[in-house]
Structure 1
């Protein structure tokens, strides 16, 4: 049991009624994001020795829904009008655009107008933003979907952090980040002692905050701890649309171009130019798969002024053309 003095007074303001959550699961939702959000609520009830939270699972039509890993879940029912103290969590996954329908958007807008808090897990933020509920707000989304989201929703302040709480809008980047978001909400309502007990039960030994970033540090990602190399790669990642010449990159870290070449060859087995090209083409692939941008606009957004040069480079790396990539993406949606 939680020592009474450690509980947040807010916990007693609901006359003992459990706080309701409704999880909207979209087709091909990410199971880990959902499980990591719902388990903290179950464990909070268990650790507190009383029902602090209750939850329901809904789908657009009330029928079963299949996760991206093939597991099928039965919903508790369809989308319906909710009590105003309910928090909605939209759980997205693969091909989220194909899972969005007019009824889903209408339901989210209506419930938000009635004052309900709305959250998004994994790329559920794509759906909440499409409903217009993130305009002028901060949110986060899985890093893999960041490029497309930024292009489609420039009015949203997109963060790279693992979760974001902006008033009554919540978002988590997916995976285990859902746990950190829910632990934060539990701590706000019932105190950090309860949140810590829940984390302990989940073997979640390091509770992350909304200041933690999603991706591993550059040295960890590339497997090399070299400050100058990390600084150059960071500059490359920040300058995709307007590429910086190797000479300027080298100058910025106090090296000659030849030294920079040797550094990349030694640790990454490729030239700085090649590494930079792969970064730009990686973003181009994301935009082709995640947005409706024209191939020409994708090329420009990734620093290519010539469509033919873009197509040639793309084919060399991915063994297909940007136009075929777009067609394959449309076919799988």
Structure 2
């Protein structure tokens, strides 16, 4: 396992990070989830990403159980706040001071720790002044409940606002967690340049495009039984944007690139995002321990420029590149 600095900070995280979105507390039984976390630990993953909204807080509880007994100082635990949790009352979402300060305490209790390494704003809150949010984060840091602050799916302008306020308040905004893969590159034109300027790293989710970049979905073919595309609990909806024959046909062309590198298609997809020097880590999920053992082999892979160009040529115009997608996909009002 290789490690990278997170933003312009002294904190290092494992470049393969284990995340439990769409799995723990919902799609995967608890025993299997714990086995996956232990597999991650066995292969050298030290960084674990979750959020209070995942399975309505259950994912944090499962992760806390799985990490119980581990040396806390050897781990980096990331969680998030914004989306509705609990009974989903009128103050149970967003980035208000009330919700942030109450949510961090709930997350710490579920995770079984007295602090998280990075506490992340899961989205931008249009209903709360950003000054209020950043002051609340500053107080979380000063209380020792989080060591650093990050965000998720913020635009370049939002990153600049948040970074300036954090600096004035005396804490570090060091990370952004966007969707990023060889198929979805909307952060490249604006978010990545702004982040380099500000000293912010990307911790990216869906590097395998919800499984599409594994090549297991074929044009005109039925999705494999038990795959995300057959999951009615949320997975099928998340993957639907890529389940088009033009996308699936182009993904099949990546097999020759993976073969030359002696990688699986999934390993190629994870290694591809790690070629971006602004990416500190790629988040992988798993429903079985063997998936962890497989995907972690992407750590340390260097893809030659010629093969990176072949990936571009193979995927062609099915790649989503419009930077406006980040803002367009953001909530326009606080969810309830």
- TM-score of the aligned structures, taking structure 2 as reference length: 0.31
1 or 2 for the larger relative contact order (CA 8 Å, sep ≥6)?
2
